[in-house]
Amino acid sequence: MDSYKIDLQENKKSKDGSILGKVNDFQSQLKEHENQRLNILKKSPLSSACDRIIRLRDRFNNNAEIKALMFGSNSYLGIITKTNTVNKAIEVTKKFGIGAGGVPLLSGTNIFQNELESTIADLKGFDDAIIFSSGFTANIGAIIGLVRSNNLIIHDKLNHASLIDGSLMSGAKMLRYQHNDPASLDKILQENYKLYPNGILVVTDGVFSMDGDIVNLPAIINIVNKYNAVLLIDDAHSTGVIGDRGRGSLSHYNISQRDNIVVTGTLSKAIGTVGGFITANQKIIDYLRIFARSNMYSTALPPSVCASSTEVINYMKTSDVVYKLKKNSEYMKNRLSSLGYNTLNSETAIIPIIIKDEYKLTQISKYFFDKGIVTNYIYPPVVSPNKSRIRISMMATHTKEDMDYFITILEEVDSLFGIK
């Protein structure tokens, strides 16, 4: 077995404390990565759309074009190349050009942005929405817009990095509860709520981005209500995936409460375009249009992106595409579990396969690549050290043959590396 593993911790700090020391040291890790002909820290680029079947240029083989099966894309609905969404983008680009021309409060607000905002608000059952240039900036905007340094923010331990970064920027004190554990949240609130009379924000992913499990929303909301807190749900991996026709985590549980809840999300995953959103009641949205700095000070999305995103959401609401994704995810998850792989508590399109040994994971990544499968390999500190994994992402367009082929190769991997 080769003695190389990806180490994302190693070069986080400089050995000599200097600014560029860590930058220079990273070169030796990268050199080893390249010697090993890996595609983890650097990628062979796609030379086709990011669909179920892709082509890419093998950077270790004179950029020769190879075909591969995609099991690592966020395009869960497989909708990136769907004809009417592409045509919509072309039609709007021809009329409105390639960019929005300004931040939303100067010249960047156009009819397609407004239409997308009301489409998202309607999808999620809120009054209104704000569009951002990414899900990352939407999360930052929601938190720095709402929270000040005299507030407390309590996070699920597995929340996305953008939620953590927004919290750091807000200057508020931050605490974390055990993953998806209402009792742990309750305990932290019990201990702290009197210390923060100005308010507490509880933050959770709707679907957790690395484990693929769904937040226990009914229990979390009960606790949030008990302490008069505000709840922020990041529906990045829930939108288009769970709930009635992809409406997300509140719909998944048929929850009608909206008052002290703010939902964020991204257009870059199931929706297949780019951009992010916050949706909430009218007063919150009116306020955040001004005080979410990553909206106020950042250029609006191109009109074509807004228009094609709306097209995708309308298709989602009127077709069985979300159902197909669910069926594929269930088939894959059930087959993996019955064969004895550890897939944690995944119930969605994200399915982890725990490998633990990071050296093995590196070798496995090469094996899959050689067999024409693209998927993702996740190392610490993105996940905890004994939880390194293959993270597969299902698509509505995967066929049974695709999934069975993946399993065949995984079984070969298991017989070679022993991963069960």
Q: How far is CA 350 from CA 213, 378, 383, in A?
A: 8, 13, 14
Least Å from the CB of residue 75 to ligand PMP = 12
Least Å from the CB of residue 238 to ligand PMP = 9
Is beta strand 230-234 parallel, antiparallel or unpaired with respect to 53-58? unpaired
3-state secondary structure of 369: helix
Q: Look up residue 414 and give its two tokens.
A: 């298991």
C-alpha to C-alpha distance for 394 and 333, rounded to whole angstroms? 10
The verdict on 134 binding ligand PMP (CB under 6 A) reads: yes
The verdict on 309 binding ligand PMP (CB under 6 A) reads: no
Number of other residues whose CB lies within 10 A of the CB of residue 258: 16
Convert residues 78-107 into a mask of x (bound to ligand PMP by CB under 6 A) and - (unbound): ------------------------------
Orientation of helix 111-124 relative to helix 303-318, angle to 10°: 30
C-alpha to C-alpha distance for 179 and 69, rounded to whole angstroms? 32
Residues between 358 and 377 with contacts to ligand PMP, criterion CB under 6 A: none
The verdict on 156 binding ligand PMP (CB under 6 A) reads: no
Convert residues 162-181 into a mask of x (bound to ligand PMP by CB under 6 A) and - (unbound): x-------------------
C-alpha to C-alpha distance for 339 and 107, rounded to whole angstroms? 56
Least Å from the CB of residue 143 to ligand PMP = 12
Interface segment toward ligand PMP; rule CB under 6 A; list 46-54, 91-99, 231-239, 284-292: 231-239
Q: Bridge partners of 279?
A: 129, 263
| Contact between residue 153 and residue 167 where contact means Cβ atoms under 8 Å apart | yes
Instruction: Tell which one of 209, 239, 294, 308 touches ligand PMP (CB under 6 A).
Output: 209
Residue with smaller CB distance to ligand PMP, 135 or 243: 135
The verdict on 224 binding ligand PMP (CB under 6 A) reads: no
**Contacts of 85 by beta carbon, 8 Å cutoff, 6+ apart:** 79, 272, 308, 311, 312, 315
| Contact between residue 77 and residue 395 where contact means Cβ atoms under 8 Å apart | yes
Residues between 268 and 287 with contacts to ligand PMP, criterion CB under 6 A: 268, 276
Least Å from the CB of residue 267 to ligand PMP = 7
Interface segment toward ligand PMP; rule CB under 6 A; list 65-73, 233-241, 355-363, 401-409: 233-241
Interface segment toward ligand PMP; rule CB under 6 A; list 106-114, 135-143, 252-260, 381-389: 135-143
The verdict on 204 binding ligand PMP (CB under 6 A) reads: no
Number of other residues whose CB lies within 10 A of the CB of residue 323: 12
Residue with smaller CB distance to ligand PMP, 108 or 276: 276
Interface segment toward ligand PMP; rule CB under 6 A; list 234-242, 303-311, 356-364, 407-415: 234-242
3-state secondary structure of 262: strand
Q: What number of chain residues touch ligand PMP (CB under 6 A)?
A: 14
The verdict on 329 binding ligand PMP (CB under 6 A) reads: no
Residue with smaller CB distance to ligand PMP, 236 or 419: 236
Least Å from the CB of residue 313 to ligand PMP = 15
Least Å from the CB of residue 34 to ligand PMP = 25
| Contact between residue 121 and residue 130 where contact means Cβ atoms under 8 Å apart | no
Residue nearest to ligand PMP (CB): 135
Written as one string, the DSSP assignment of 202-238 is: EEEESB-TTT--B--HHHHHHHHHHTT-EEEEE-TTT
The verdict on 136 binding ligand PMP (CB under 6 A) reads: yes
Least Å from the CB of residue 194 to ligand PMP = 31
The verdict on 346 binding ligand PMP (CB under 6 A) reads: no
The verdict on 249 binding ligand PMP (CB under 6 A) reads: no
**Contacts of 205 by beta carbon, 8 Å cutoff, 6+ apart:** 156, 158, 159, 160, 163, 215, 233, 234, 236, 237
Strands (E), 183-319: 200-205, 230-234, 261-266, 276-280
Binding-site ranges for ligand PMP (CB under 6 A)? 134-136, 139, 160, 162, 205, 209, 234, 236-237, 266, 268, 276
